[in-house]
Chain A
Amino acid sequence: MAESVSSDASTDGAEGETRRDFLYLAAGAMGVAAVAGIAWPLFDQMNPSADVLALASAEIDLSPIELGQRVTAKWRGKPVFIDHRGPEVIEKARDVEVEDLPDPEPDAARVQKPEWLILVGICTHLGCVPFGQKDSDPRGDYGGWFCPCHGSHYDTSGRIRKGPAPRNLEVPEYIFLDDTTIRIG
C-alpha cells in the first residue's frame, strides 16, 4: 500500500490543490443537498395526508339542539362539547370573581354568542373526557363538567374551579356561518 498512496502535497502543485478543494467542496455540497432532498419526503410523509386535512374543519348545524341541551360532536378525532345555555346558566357563569379563578378568564371571552358555549371536551390535566354531557352525569360542584380521572371540577363556562387541571377547557377556533351553523377549525 505504501508505494501507491503518496501525500497530496508532494505530488500536486498549488493548482492541483485548488482543483481538489473545489471538487471535494462541490461534491460535499451536492451530497448534503441530496441527503436533505431525500430526508424531506421521508419526514413529510408522516404529516396529515390530504384526506385527513380535508376533514380538519367541520360544519355543525346547531338548530336541532334545544335550550339547555348539551351535545357532543366529533372534530379532528376529539369530542367537542356544545352547550345551549339558558339565561340562569349564563348568569351563573358571569357571576364570579374572575381574578380568584385558577385560570382567570371572563365568560365573555369564551363565547361568541352567550347562549352557545363551544368547548374541546378534553380535560387539561391528563387528557380524559370529563362527565357532564348527559343530564344524569355528575357535573361537579359548579354545575359544569367533572373529570372522573383525577377529580377536576369545571364551571358552566368550562373554567377550572377545583382539582388538578391547570387550565380551563379549551375553546376551539370557530366561526358562525349563519345564526345556527358554526364551522370549527
Chain B
Amino acid sequence: MGFANSQNKIIRWVEYRLPVLKWLDAQLIDYPTPKNLNYWWNFGSLAGVMLVVQIVTGIVLAMHYMPHGDYAFDSVEHIMRDVSWGWLLRYLHSNGGSMFFAVVYIHIFRGLYYGSYKAPREILWWFGLIILFLMMMTAFLGYVLPWGQMSFWAATVITSMFSAIPWVGDELVVWLWGGYSVDSPTLTRFYSLHYLFPFLIVGVVFVHLWALHVHGSNSPLGIDIKRPDQDKIPFHPYYTVKDLFGMMVMFFILAVFVFYLPNMLGEVINYEKANPLVTPPHIVPEWYFLPFYAILRAVPDKLGGVIAMGASISIFFVLPWLDVSKVRSAKFRPIYRQFFWIFLGDCIVLGIVGANPPEGTWLLMGRLATAYYFLHLLVIIPLIGKFEKPRPVPEGIGEPVLKDAGAPAKEG
C-alpha cells in the first residue's frame, strides 16, 4: 500500500519537505499488528471514534448553549425544541458520553485480562489512565451544564469534597465556586473547562498511540512476537475493516439509545431547573461513576472517603509492579483468570450499591465490596503473581505450546 510512493509532483514536493503520508502509511496502513487480535481489541479505536463524536456534537451544541445560571436550562430546551436537529445533537452528546465510558471500561478490562499493562507497556498504560481521569473530569463538568436539579446538586456534592482537604479546604471550595455556593459563576467556568478538556484528551490520546506503536499491540496470547513476518499483518485492510464493522455495531447500539431510550440513563429530576433551596431526595451520579461513588460513601470519614475514591483509580498507576507475574495473558494464568472475573463482579456490585442509599444492607455490601476492591489490587494480585504456576506459553501465534526452552520452533 501507500500513497507515499506516488509519482505525483505535488505529493512528492510535500513529502520531501514533510513526509506526512509516509508517516501515516507507517502508522495506519502498513503498521504491523498481531494477526490474532480478537474483538475485544476493537474497543480502543471505538473509544477514539466516540471522542470524535463527542467533540463534534459538543462544538455544535456550544453554538446554541448559554453558560449562565439564568439561561442555561432554557437554552437546552431551546436546543431541544427550536434548533434544527438540536434534539438529535443533544441526545447524541448525552448518550454518547455513556457510550464513551462503556467502551473505555471494556477497553480497560480487556487490558487487565490480557496483561496489557505489563512491561514494556507501562507508560502506555499510564497515559490510558490519564485519559480516564480527564474523561471523568469532562463528564462531571458536562453533567452540570444543563443546570437541572441533578446538575446543580451533583456539582454541590462533588465540589464539596474538596472541603475535606485539611486547612485550605473551605477556601479552596469558595475559589472553585467563585462565590459562596454553586451558582452562575461556577457554571460559566465549568463550561470553559468542559470545552477545554476534550482537546487535552486528544493530546494525551496521541501520546497513548505513540507509546502503543513503539512495541505494538499486545495480543490474546500476551507474548512478545519474535517473528513479525509470520505473526503480524498490516493494519490496513485487516483491522481497518474489522474496526469499521465494530464501529457500525457500536453506532447501532448508540442509535437505539438516542432514538428510543434517550433519557433512560439520565435522571428525570434533571428536567427540573436547578433550585438551590430544594435538594432532590436521592442524589445519584451517572452510571459510570456509581462504583466510585459507592467507595466514597463506604468510608465513614469524610477525608477518608475522598482519599479512598482517589486511590481506587490512582492505584492502577502502580499495577504493573503489583502484578509480578511475567506471563501477561490470563489465558495462561488459571488462578488470575478466576480472580479477574471476581474483580469485575465486585465492580458491578459496587455500581449497584452506588445507585442505592447508603443504609443497612447496602452500606454493608458497599463496605465489603470496597474492601475486596483494594484487597484484590493490593494483596491478591501480588500473591497470585508470586505463587501461581502459569501454563506454558507458545512461542508464536498459531504454534504449539513451548514445552521447554529447547523445543524447536516450527518452520514457517
Contacts and interface: CB of A to CB of B under 8 A. Distances in A.
Interface of A: 1-5, 41-42, 44-47, 49-52
Contact of B35 (A2, A4, A44): A4
B32 A41 contact: no
A49 B56 contact: no
A45 B234 contact: no
Decide if the interface of chain A is mainly helix, strand, loop or mixed.
loop
Given A3-B230, A44-B85, A45-B86, 13 more contacts: A1-B228, A3-B229, A4-B35, A5-B233, A41-B85, A41-B88, A41-B89, A45-B60, A45-B63, A45-B89, A49-B64, A49-B78, A50-B83
A49 B35 contact: no
B189 interface: no
Q: Interface residues of B toward A: which range?
A: 20 to 34
A89 to B, nearest CB: 42
B41 to A, nearest CB: 17
A50 B86 CA distance: 11
B234 A5 contact: yes
Decide if the interface of chain B is mainly helix, strand, loop or mixed.
mixed
A47 B86 CA distance: 11
Nearest to B1: A5
Nearest to B245: A27
Interface string B212-248: 0000000000000000111011100000000000000
Contacts of A1: 32, 228-229, 232-234
Nearest to A49: B82
7 contacts: A3-B229, A42-B56, A44-B85, A45-B64, A49-B64, A49-B83, A50-B83
B228 A45 contact: no
Given A45-B60, A45-B89, A50 B229 contact: no
B32 A51 contact: no
B326 interface: no
A97 B92 CA distance: 62
A47 B403 CA distance: 68
A137 B205 CA distance: 62
Contacts of A41: 84-85, 88-89
Given A44-B84, A45-B84, A50-B81, A4 B233 contact: yes
Contacts of A46: 60, 63
Contact of B83 (A2, A3, A45): A45
B412 interface: yes
Interface string B295-329: 00000000000000000000000000000000000
Contacts of B412: 3
B234 A51 contact: no
Interface in B41-80: 56, 60, 63-64, 78
Contacts of B88: 41
A47 B89 CA distance: 14
Contacts of B89: 41-42, 45
A156 B256 CA distance: 63
Contacts of B228: 1
Query: A-B pairs with the 8 shortest C-beta distances?
Result: A41-B85, A50-B82, A49-B82, A51-B82, A44-B84, A49-B83, A45-B85, A45-B84
Most chain A beta-carbon neighbours within 10 Å: one of B85, B86, B230: B85
A5 B29 CA distance: 13
Contacts of A44: 84-85
Contacts of B229: 1-3
A4 B412 CA distance: 11
B64 to A, nearest CB: 8
Nearest to B88: A41
Most chain A beta-carbon neighbours within 10 Å: one of B32, B84, B230, B234: B84
Contacts of B82: 49-52
Contacts of B233: 1, 4-5
Contacts of A52: 82
A82 B228 CA distance: 81
